[in-house]
Homo-oligomer: A and B are copies of this chain.
Amino acid sequence: MATEDVVLLDCWASPYCMRVKIALEEKGIKYEERAEDLFGGKSELLLTSNPVYAKVPVLLHKGKPLCESSIIVGYIDETWASPPLLPSCPYARAQAKFWVDYVDKKLFDAGGNIWRTKGEAQEVAVKDFIEILKQLEKVLGDKDFFGGDSFGFVDIITIAITSWFLAFEKFGNFKVEDHAPKLSAWIKRSMQRETVAKVIPDPEKIYEFVINLKKMMGME
């Protein structure tokens, strides 16, 4: 791995931080992780590096801060060219960005609606979530990856969020595989990549994290 001055302000359970780590792994860039204690108080460095949102991930490259995970992954792709995460043709790039934006707007929030609710509201949340999965399954089609033959931008953005799928399934009492088998196969395929496997935490641990999160939020 190349040695660069790259520091990530991180939270292990954040799929948005996982995106940045997978992108850095794909590019073979060494980085230092600095864990933020989001409940115990944010570091001065986080507050000054991301004054607008005060959120992780923040990537510090040669001391200069970058915020918002999809923008950071784009920066990583432009800064370290190989292997490319976006296609070279402007139309295909725009299509990839459309699906990145779709996942950003929909997927994690829809999953949050599952574990934050109960009863009828939760049933609606599960239905909405499954609709999004089906949409993504349609985009994936019979390709190995959203990027086609190679694992790319949309794959990174989406696979990180799948680390929470077990928690969504357990709270919502459904199975992703039953509704989106091709997407499930894509998750397994992507998890076989070393760059992904070493970043994504055990989904059971994420499930425990969500249980604790609910307790802390007084939602039992």
Contacts and interface: CB of A to CB of B under 8 A. Distances in A.
A78 B98 contact: no
How many chain A residues sit at the interface, stated as a range, is 20 to 34
B75 A93 contact: yes
A25 interface: no
A67 B93 CA distance: 12
A78 B64 contact: no
Contacts of A112: none
Contacts of A68: 97-98, 101
Query: A-side binding surface: helix, strand, loop or mixed?
Result: helix
Contacts of A94: 66, 71-72, 74-75, 78
Nearest to A90: B78
Contacts of A216: none
Contacts of A2: none
Interface in A102-131: 102
Given A64-B91, A90-B78, A52 B97 contact: no
A48 interface: no
Interface in A67-100: 67-68, 71-72, 74-75, 78-79, 90-91, 93-94, 97-98
Nearest to A76: B90
A212 interface: no
A102 B98 CA distance: 17
A204 to B, nearest CB: 33
A143 to B, nearest CB: 18
Nearest to A75: B94
A31 to B, nearest CB: 16
Max count, chain B CB within 10 A of own CB: residue among A67, A72, A91: A91
Interface of A: 52, 61, 64, 66-68, 71-72, 74-75, 78-79, 90-91, 93-94, 97-98, 101-102, 135
